[in-house]
Amino acid sequence: MGILVILLLLTCAYLPNPTTADPEDESCLTNLKQTLEDPKNTLRNWTKTTFANPCNGFTSYLTGATCNNGRIYKLSLANLNLKGSISPYLSNCTNLQSLDLSSNSITGPIPPDLQFLLNLAVLNLSSNRLSGAIPPQLALCAYLNVIDLSDNVLTGMIPQELGMLARLSSFDVSDNKLEGLIPSSITNRSGSLLLGRFNATSFEGNKDLYGYPLGGLKRGGLSVMAIVGIGLGSGLVSLVLSFSAVCVWLRVSERKLSNEEGKISQWKGQNGGRNNLAICVKSPGGEQSSLALVMENLELKNSLYADIEPYKSGFLKVSDIHTIYWEQSGNPQGHPVVFLHGGPGGGTSPTNRRFFDPEFYRIILFDQRGAGKSIPHACLEENTTWDLIGDIEKLRELLDIPEWQVFGGSWGSTLALTYSQSHPEKVTGMVLRGIFLLRKKELDWFYEGGAAAIFPDGTFLLVIFC
């Protein structure tokens, strides 16, 4: 009898136990079911009870779902006559590697929240009625091998950020309503036109889409090469004069800037060397923004201070996940200034120390979460603007600095403004360079065609004639 009891206990010990659902998977499935319409009741077993326990190891209890170690890792809901929209809470299925909702009648936008599916390798949303823009945030899904968005009603331009997806081997946006120039980052694997990444069939069926590999030019406008051709047709002399006029403008602007720099130096001397200088730059297109561009070039070319090494550096643990690198250089008794680098994710470099007078400033550089020497590298978890603002304050407290000057460039200018608004009593002054505030009109210009109008070939010709 005793032996029988022992055998029964051993048998029970090896019976598979039902696993408890991951709360993220449960939220993901619940919200997805709520936003989808299932007229044929194909997903009849997608119930609250099943969501509470959708997997048992590698076994799935849900139609169209595949499990791996108790987590949903694949959803295949193709050709089920589904309607409705894609829930942004789908991003809670953080182990998801494949998502196939193709050949349905799903409407609405593609949720930018899909960026949080960091393990996603296959995304097939083809043959639906999805509308709106392609989210550039998909570029954060670094493991994506397949993106199929064909046969929808998507609009806008193809985000050039998708070119960052080094593993992408299949890309199809054909038969939509996309427009604008096809980003070279998408079509060329190595920047060479000889190595086409995807062929024309990936882009066909978008009448306002142009560029390699489709060919053609945007209607209603002239390309830079066409303008250059007209100039050459009118005679080489007229072309030289055109470029010379631009060069004269640059030289005049440089002289104006030199005069302004002299005034600033004089003002600085009259004010005891204090560098609490506010620089205001008008919107793009104004005279001040043009001079700001010249100032940027002059600063990098002529006005940097000599190379210096940090006199102190270290690491600061700012969360359970993140540890940031920091350093100090210049004058330990000088006016504190903190440098906020761009990106996000750009990191600092030794050149950044050279922006400041090492005799006047106590220079503090640090790498933001996931950037530079900070660890873990490229980690996006707990990496928001407000997390970074908190890190700046923690660093100030660590270094026992009552208040400091804030210097931000590009993304760092946005961070500098946000920090200064949150902690105005800790800021003695603020300098912004390469201002990029992440507003919609700036993002649209930078990622949706504006920046693409600055052609490298045209810039090269300008440099030659100057």
Q: How many residues are there in the chain? A: 466
Per residue in 166-203, pLDDT (tens digit) is: 888 899 999 999 999 888 778 764 443 333 568 889 99
Domain 18-210 has CATH 3.90.1310.10: no
Q: Which pLDDT score is estimated for 248?
A: 39
Q: What kind and span of H or E run contains 458?
A: helix 456-465
The C-alpha R_g of the chain, in whole angstroms, comes to 28
Residue 286 has pLDDT above 70, yes or no: no
Per residue in 67-76, pLDDT (tens digit) is: 888 888 899 9
Question: What angle, rounded to 10 degrees, do the helices at 236-270 and 224-233 form?
Answer: 120
76-86: average pLDDT: 94
Interior angle at CA 102, CA 96 and CA 104, nearest 5: 125
207-212: average pLDDT: 87
What residues does each domain of the chain span? 18-210, 304-435
Report the first-to-last Cα separation within the chain, whole angstroms. 100
User: What's the sign of the alpha-carbon dihedral 43, 49, 51, 56?
Assistant: negative
Q: Which pLDDT score is estimated for 303?
A: 64
Residue 119 has pLDDT above 60, yes or no: yes
Reported confidence tier of residue 453, pLDDT bands at 50, 70, 90: low
Per residue in 214-267, pLDDT (tens digit) is: 865 544 333 333 333 433 343 433 334 334 443 433 444 444 444 444 433 343
Q: Which pTM value belongs to this model?
A: 0.47
Indicate the SS3 state at residue 436: coil
**Which CATH number, 3.40.50.1820, 3.40.630.30, 3.30.420.40, 3.40.640.10, labels domain 304-435?**
3.40.50.1820
Residue 444 has pLDDT above 80, yes or no: no
Neighbours of 315 (CB within 10 A): 14
The least confident of 57-66, 140-149, 293-302 is: 293-302
Q: Which carries the bigger pLDDT value, residue 313 or residue 217?
A: 313
Chain mean pLDDT for the chain: 76
Distance CA 55, CA 180 (A): 45
Q: Which pLDDT score is estimated for 243?
A: 42
